[in-house]
Structure formats: C-alpha cells, structure tokens
Structure 1
C-alpha cells in the first residue's frame, strides 16, 4: 500500500515523538528529490483513471444505436455479464493490493447499472417512455422523469459496491446519478419540461447540497471519499452559477464574490479543487471587465495575459503559503465550528 506524506504529517510525527526535531525537514527534502519514482507513480494513476473513463464512456453516453438493435434480452445479459466481470476483476485486484485499478473497475461496474435497468425495463414491458426519446443514449442528454428507476438503481448498486470496494472514486457515478435524479424529480414534481433557467437553478442547489454533505464526510474516514463529492458538487454548483445570465453589473460582481468565497474555502479546507474553480470564476469576471473597458483596443490581449499571469502567481503563492494561510484563517473561526466540522481539524 502506498501512502502520501506531506509537511503536516511529518510535523505531527515530530509532535508525537516519532521523529526528532529537524528530521522531518530532512525526510521531506529527501522525498522531494525522488522525481523519477514519483512521476512514474503518477503516470500509472493517470493511465488507470483514463482507461476507466474510456470504458465508462464507451458503455455509457457513447453507446451506439447498433447496441439497441441486438434485442433487450441480449442487452441485459451483456450488461450484467460486464458488471459481474468488472466486479470480480476489481475485487481480485483489490485483494492483491492493487486498490486503485481494482476500485476503478468497481466504479465501471456501477456505471453500467443504468444500461442493465434500461434493458430490464424494456424486456418486462415496464419502460415508461414511448415517445421517440427512449434510446439509452438520451439518458445522458435529456431531463426525463422516466429515468428515475435507472438513477435510483445506480445509487443503490453504488452504495453496495462501495461497501465491497471502499474506493473513493465510486462516489463519482453515485453523485452523477443523484444529479440526474435532482433534475428528473423536479420535472416530475412540476409536471412539465424544465426550461434552461430552472435546470441551472436545480444544478446550483444540488451542487451546494452535495458540497455540504461532502464537508460533513470530510475527515471522518481514512480514505478521502470527500474529494470526489467536492468535485461533483463544484461541477454542478459552479456550472449552474456560471451559466446563469446576469444582465446587471451587481449580479456579475456577486458572481465574482462567490468565486472569491470558493478560493477562501480552498484555504480553510486545504482543498485545491476549490481554488481551481474559484480562480476560473474570478478570471472570467476580470476578463469580462477588461473586455468592457478595453473593447477594440490593442491592450485587450495584453490585459488578458496579465490576468493569466496573475492567476498563475496566485497559485504559486497559495502553494508556498498554504499552511500559514490555513492556520491563520482557522484561528478566526469559533471552536464550536472547528469541532463540528472534522475537515477543519486536520
């Protein structure tokens, strides 16, 4: 099993008497001087995740119409066979210590659940959609109340697989299914097709709820289940927020303030993913201002370049002073909040 150490872990080891003062810095410097091992390790991770995403795409939203022509029974058998094979292979790799590829294969099995439910519903005559938008590919495109069984089954199977293979990435297909479900349930409740403005608001509120749930999960287990919840929540929240059309300058300024708040969350929670989304939002707002001020000006590309350099500089400054900034920010928070949120105790 591979462990990732940082300066905080070594500092705690010094406090606990495991390391002598000064040894933590020497050990950290030694680890930083191992570029080849660390690079190859991370390259293997990229290959694992990229391969899993390719499989999920091929058997999901890229599934061609030809697969719909093989018959519902054959489609169900193939989907269940794939799920079983991926689970068995994932479990085997997990037990042999290859937890990353094993967990990723478990996530692939979860992502096949909608296909199996789709085929089972059509085979049993329980398929609720019969109006031309009933192909499996449309599950990833349209908001439809009829997809609820597929989404609920995906969440249930995901939770079961998560108990079998406690791998954080399995949270991602569960979160995506819940995101789809939030859209479809809203349409079912209101009894009509959602317009784009409503979809953006549903996405925003769902993303915010998922971020809060991830915050409560953060720090409560040895594995980092919160990361993928944060990522999915930010995609839904920030995506819905950024796609909203605010015609007022006040609305655009509020958008910038919210993104600055996300950057503050990155410091408080030590989660760079918040910094990425927040920086993108602030850069977008600054780009809008520069376009308004320097429209049809030779200075426009120069100003955008300066904004880009400023964002990079901000990232470097955050990386160098992350621990000090986090500690300073947490000192401003009440003890009751720090005790209630495990993520803020690290």
Structure 2
C-alpha cells in the first residue's frame, strides 16, 4: 500500500459513503496545504542519497594512497570517528522522524566498516597478505581471500545497524559485501590465479541467488528491503551475463531474450529496476546487430527508430495502465506461482 492519498482515493471514499460529497475536496486541499510539494520532497530525497554516496566513495573506492601513509593507528581513529559520528547522526534524525536521512547515514556508516577492520588487522598483526597488498583501494578492485574478515564484519555490522535504524538502503552495503565475499571465497575453490571467466561465472550465479532471495523477502517485510536487494542482485547478475562472451549468434540472441525476460519481470513485479537493466541489455544486443550484422543495411536504423518509438508508446501505455497490465500478466499464470509472488507495491 502507498502512503500517498490522491483525489481518486477520496472520490472512492465518497462513493462508499465514508465521506460526504464535497468533503473529499476539502480534505484534499487540507492535505496539500499541510505537506510540501512533491517536487521538493523528491529533490530532498535525491540529495540525501547523493550525499551518502559521496561519503561512501570518499571513504571507500576513492580513498587515495596518501591515506595509507598516515599510519594504521591514524587510519583506525579516522574510520572509528566516521562510524560513530554517522551512527549518532542517523539515530538523531531517526528521533526527529526523518527516516530517509537516518537510513542513508546509517548505510554510509556500515560502508566504512571494511576500512576499520583493515586498520585493526594491520595493527594487530592479523593481516593475511604481504605489504604489496596493503592498499585499501584494492579491496574494491581485486579478488583476494584476505578480504574475508572485512566482508564478514560489514555484513554483521549491517545486520546490527538494521536493528537500530530499520531502513532498506542499509541492505545495499550488506549485499555488496556478500558479493565481494562470494568472489573471494571462490578463489579458495578455484585456486589462484582467478581468471576473468571464473569471476563472471561467480558474479552471474551470485546475482541470480540474490535475486531469488529478495524475491522471497519481497512483500513480506514492513519496509521495502527488496528494492535495494534487487539492484545489487541485478548488478551482479547482469554484469556477469553481459561480460560473458559468446561466439555464436544463438548465444547472443539468448542474451537478448534473457533481457527481454527481465523487462517482463518488471511488469510482473512492478519493479522498474528490472526494466532498466533489461532495456540496457536489449540496447546492447541491438547495437551489436547494427555494427556487426547489419552494418551495410540502410534500412536497419529506420526500422530500429520505429521500434524505439513503439517502446516509448508502450512505456506511456504502461504508465497509465500498469495496474491492469500487472494483473493481466498474473491472471495468466498458474495459481501456485501467483501465490508465491510478492504482493504488488505502488
């Protein structure tokens, strides 16, 4: 269910006898006067997420080598100060009934846990790798079994933070840590060196498992935790799928069909993120056809343009009738499958 009430909801309340005629318009005017405009609210929310991503980047994959030279003790102090300060701010804004600001700050705090554990391991002499692998930046770029403690600590910290600040965005750093953990554990399975083919395979299957896990969670929690889980799962699955090379036209066509399937799932679950990734995949396949298969064809760009116009038209149709379309798709599925699917969210 949605927290937003519009004129149609109030009109149905009049028809049901809950409100008297005329009361719906008065109530709607009152609600609009009591709340800020939707554009301002959405802009503020965007600022919250963008600010959190800046913090995550600054203390994560954008951390420069200069920080490695300040010493492990200073690095530990800085990481601890960030985590404590961000957590305190998150709890403060939670008490002030600002759940989004609190949630993104809490997620930023969780994202700095790997840096904290990195410094602790170095100071305590538990660092499992040599000094040439002591650059924290490599945590985000290289698969190594030595990162496992950092990833496990991030998952535990994220779960604990969800108890303090139950906001869905905190799922994102947890999912990323689990993705990294799956890659690093695979090095133990495959051994070293760890090839790109093996990385793609692990990423693809981990992403698929993540999507299935959050499909089970979807609609069964008070907050929409599946939103960010789907994003993390799709990034891993679609990334692994897209980087998998196929020498046959059949394999490339299958790639396109899988992405069309993602677009269908978007309609079924009413989750736009599936549509975004599916559309990127279909666009990549059409780009391949344009540059490789139909490079000498004058007609192909024209046909593709009409397809693009058709897709835009379908998007407009879906925007107006998404409830009917989702219900129509579900009505053609077996009852057991519909029962297993999550309830539709607005």
Q: CA 1:287 to 1:61, structure 2 compared with 1: closer, same or farther past 3 Å?
A: same
Q: CA deviation at 1:273?
A: 1.0
**Quick one: distance in 1 between partners of 2:5 and 2:60?**
36
**Quick one: distance in 1 between partners of 2:274 and 2:263?**
6
The structure 1 segments of at least 4 consecutive aligned residues displaced by more than 6 Å after TM superposition are 6-17, 23-32
Aligned residue in 1 for 2:272? 272
Q: Which has the higher contact order (CA 8 A, sep 6+)?
A: 2
Aligned residue in 1 for 2:98? 98
**1:115-194 equivalences in 2 (<5 Å):** 115-130=115-130, 132-194=132-194
| Residue deviations 1:231-256 (CA, integer Å, cap 9, x gap) | 11111111111111111010011111
Asked if the contact 1:168–1:228 (Cα under 8 Å) also holds between the matched residues in 2, the reply is yes
Q: CA deviation at 1:277?
A: 1.1
Q: CA deviation at 1:279?
A: 1.5
Give the aligned CA root-mean-square deviation in angstroms.
3.3
The alignment status of 1:257 with 2:257, answered yes or no, reads yes
Q: Which runs of no fewer than 5 residues in structure 2 stay unpaired?
A: none
| Residue deviations 1:19-71 (CA, integer Å, cap 9, x gap) | 799x9999999999xxx811111111111111110011001111111111111
Aligned residue in 2 for 1:197? 197
Q: CA 1:12 to 1:76, structure 2 compared with 1: closer, same or farther past 3 Å?
A: farther
| Residue deviations 1:91-145 (CA, integer Å, cap 9, x gap) | 0101110111111110010000000000000000000110512210000010000
The secondary structure found in structure 2 opposite 1:132 is: helix
Aligned residue in 1 for 2:208? 208
**Quick one: distance in 2 between partners of 1:292 and 1:8?**
51
> Aligned residue pairs: how many?
345
**Quick one: distance in 1 between partners of 2:145 and 2:296?**
47
Normalising to structure 2: TM-score of the pair?
Answer: 0.89
Greater shift in the superposed pair: 327-336 or 258-267? 327-336
Q: CA deviation at 1:344?
A: 5.7
Q: CA 1:20 to 1:261, structure 2 compared with 1: closer, same or farther past 3 Å?
A: farther
**Quick one: distance in 2 between partners of 1:16 and 1:72?**
67
Q: Which runs of no fewer than 5 residues in structure 1 stay unpaired?
A: none
Q: CA deviation at 1:295?
A: 1.3
Q: CA deviation at 1:261?
A: 0.9
Greater shift in the superposed pair: 178-187 or 286-295? 286-295
